[in-house]
Structure 1
């Protein structure tokens, strides 16, 4: 999402550099007016490289999206001594991600997060849930954390979705296709989605496509075989352009145990595809506005998910209604929010 934020700010006349390793993800999406500045391949070399970059280029602000990158950027800011401001952008519900760790590891992580976020010049969250979570962990007041929705819908978004059918299952007169997307890891909980498919198929025909790769693929296939639905499941792996799949699916299902602001859910809505989502922390309840734009079901409960899927398949909401839920998730709206946030960060710094 930071690439889309960079694109939005650049389109509004700001000079934007994008720093990442040379093999960073999605660099092909950078337009010519954004300079890519490669960082060393080894993370421990990033601080020195960032200090050199700050001293040479004198940026007004550095925006970072990962906690460890935030630590690096804050240390580089202090070493460079140019007055650059560091803004941290947490993207997930940290407390839920850490819930499985033992108490000592969780305490150490929270202590490090409190130190890092209190040293940042600004914090911007992508959902109310993430904002409240960071506030609870760090003790920073919620109203001191800016809220800017993710820049999911870009000017070329709908063009990318307008491709030919991507799989025979999307042909006319085929059974309805459910779509899930994300890494095949515990957080996304595709096991519950596969179990829900088996329950749905007790009442009607349906198929499931899961886009993404990960270490749980074999385990998920074993589950599908055990439930007798393997012939009705396909997992094509990572797909660079998932939007034609979303546009052609009968239903998008978010099965996550936790999120921050799930972009795939917003993308499906923007394409007019009906959705079902877990009511996980955080994001789905905000995006679906309490279930107004699609059923919300408890995480980890296949029976409830199946009921939500059957409900959505029987009475899908019109595409125009679904698309109306995504007005705040455009690249332009995101750029406006970041401009306002950066003005506030620099005004606060000037008044200290």
Structure 2
């Protein structure tokens, strides 16, 4: 507790919330109907610290708990900006159930403008779930999200974007967990109704005890209906992607019967149930005229890699036809890195 006490003054000086916000190690989930609560949770290992801002919006009527987490990667801005608007717009008197919103999960990476990693411990928060109560600060933060947010969720939504070096096309996705058919069927239905042009279905083959690493994969593993949105790219704030995330959240709320919406029913998305990852054969400078969302054919040359003197050292070809979900959008590339992910649809027996 002494480390938590020392952390108190540091968190209170951060520009996360106003003086009305609470600070605690555990979420106070018992709030009145038709009301809101802003809380800041904290973890510390005695060296590094992390805070987790949480907003609870409890509706006038009882219903599901819909959790939304943005900013697990602090440089992915459209999800963070979308949740800012959602928190301001939702009327508790019109809400059935509870919204549990984490607007910036990785505040250290967000305010530090750090790509992928928490600057405190150098770890990728979205690679350490379910976390550890006695681990590094990122592992403790993952454990906090797991025990205070994920376990309370009827539906869990993890919102991401293309980070600073990622050219990404907008899509919604879920894991095809055959061990929990009812929850997976609901995730599929919510994803189809979200209004994204592309729906990506990931295979799921984790045992119950393997670490899931990713937040919404861990929720899926635990039998919770979970899905993710990917919208925005290259570390920017694209208004179209911010709006797409907001529309997707409102569409899910309507589908769950939690909140009224005047939007028209979303058109059916293109479903891509397989992914092909192309790794860089060399370290160097990556050139490609293609962009996310482009369609490629099998065997097509998608780019090349040069050394630092400009000499071509490798061609990069597509081994699978499909749609580019994301690709490296900046020149540097290291051997073994994913330079491009192709989504495609394969018939399932």
TM-score where L is the length of structure 2: 0.25
TM-score where L is the length of structure 1: 0.25
